[in-house]
Structure 1
Amino acid sequence: MSAEDLKQAATFSDHLERLPLRERKKRRTRMALQNQALRLFSEQGYEATTMEQIAAAAEVSASTAFRYFPTKEDLVIQDEYDPFMLELFRAQPPELSPIEALRSMFGEALPHLYERDRAQLTARIQLMATVPSIKSRFFNAMRGNTLAVIDQVIAERVGRDPKDPEVECFAWAVTGSLYAAMFSWLESDGELELPELVDRNLKFLAAGCPLGA
């Protein structure tokens, strides 16, 4: 499927509808747990909320909750965007450089996801920024999962090994620019828009980070 086809048809909702029935059922359980967790965190505080309370609110057993989210922090840092984003990235025109392919991918996907999930994204990022245990878990997940995904897709695109030091350096630079955009958005208290911040940072990275004199 080409990038143009994905622009026209593969919105995030379309992507979810293409999932097998079993995966759609599992997604509903994950979303129920995450939505109830964020509601309870807001109402009674993160530390005061237990996995057992979250499971009860989502009408599943505690063992089911732990199967989907091994730790309470995972309820905040995990999301379902990666497969969709990977699909869209791999469909970018081959003549685009890796950084321009990433800009194009985020430009196509992020405004839709931002509009659809803005309240949830805001709540999650606020927790990531303010709760030490979540911040630590998020950094470890970023280092272990996000970087590995970026390494893999960039290596595929340029025909190099994912462990190539230059591929890894590139992945760290991209991850850092996304991280900076996320916190700039949070600190702006809604005055700035996340998709524009992400594109601004990736554009700056693509230009070689020109700081001037």
Structure 2
Amino acid sequence: MPDSEPHPHGLRERKKVQTRLAIRRAAFELFDTQGYANTTVDQIADAADVSPRTLYRYFGVKEALLISDDQISPIVEAFADAPPDLPIVDAYRHAVATVFRELTPEEREDAAAGQRLMYGIPEARGLLYSEYIRLIEMITDALTSRPDAPADHLERRVIAGAIVGVLIAAAHDTPMPDTALERSLTILSKRMAR
């Protein structure tokens, strides 16, 4: 999946974001009216007024329509670049707040709609698990740029797993859980500081 910035500035980047949103919006409407399993890629492409090839270029597989990478990569990048004096979990909380704050209402609703569908579609559960594992790997790698992160790979992976565990607990069946996620990460940070 291609990464995109929360607020891309170039015309080409804005068009890519708009195309992704249009494809997802068309897919969500079809999933809602005729069910996920009964909706084909061709139907989604037709409803979004793009070719199936374009749809595959943006999403790869039908299941990927439910995942919005538009926040994941920017959050991990903001985490790696967070002020070095912030403890690890506080740096992640800072990154989430920074990226969420920059989302447009349309981007926020798109992400929430995808998350609602993902929690409600049994076929998507495996994809959700895979995305959490991918996020653990991304955070583990990003930790190498944090001055207070352990040098040991396993220790970094355990910390990343704890952060993702908090995300799972805060987000399960609750799309875009800003307040719950903020509070949950604060609890983890306090507990890790002991």
Task: Check whether TM > 0.5.
Answer: yes
Alignment match, 1:26 = 16
So what's the TM-score if we normalise by structure 1?
0.76
Equivalence for 1:71? 61
Answer with 165-174 or 193-202: which moved more.
193-202
Higher relative contact order (CA 8 A, sep 6+): 2
Q: Which amino acid aligns with 2:69?
A: D
Out of 180, 190, 204, the residue aligned to residue 169 of structure 2 is 180
TM-aligned CA distance change 1:121 to 1:148, over 3 Å: same
Report matched runs for 1:1-213 at 5 Å.
12-13=6-7, 16-17=8-9, 20-113=10-103, 115-143=105-133, 145-158=134-147, 164-183=153-172, 185=174, 194-208=177-191
- Residue 127 of structure 1 and its aligned partner are, at CA, apart by 1.8
Percent identity over the alignment?
A: 31
Distance 1:63 1:109 in 2: 30
Unaligned runs of 5+ in 1: 1-10, 187-192
TM-score under structure 2 length normalisation:
0.83
Q: Secondary structure of the residue that 2:172 maps to in structure 1? A: helix
What number of residue pairs does the alignment pair up? 189
Partner of 2:39, secondary structure, is coil
Give the whole-Å Cα distance in 1 for the aligned partners of 2:125 and 2:151.
Answer: 26
| RMSD of aligned alpha carbons | 2.7
Gaps of 5+ in 2: none
Encode CA deviations 1:75-131: one digit per residue, 9 max, x unaligned.
Answer: 001331234324433442211111111112222332443855443333222222121
Question: Deviations 1:13-68 (Å, cap 9, x if unpaired)?
Answer: 3xx11xx5544433332222112111211222211211101101111111221222
Contact 2:79-2:92 within 8 A present in 1 as well: yes
TM-superposition CA deviations, 1:135-164 (whole Å, max 9, x none): 111211221x21221111112113768871
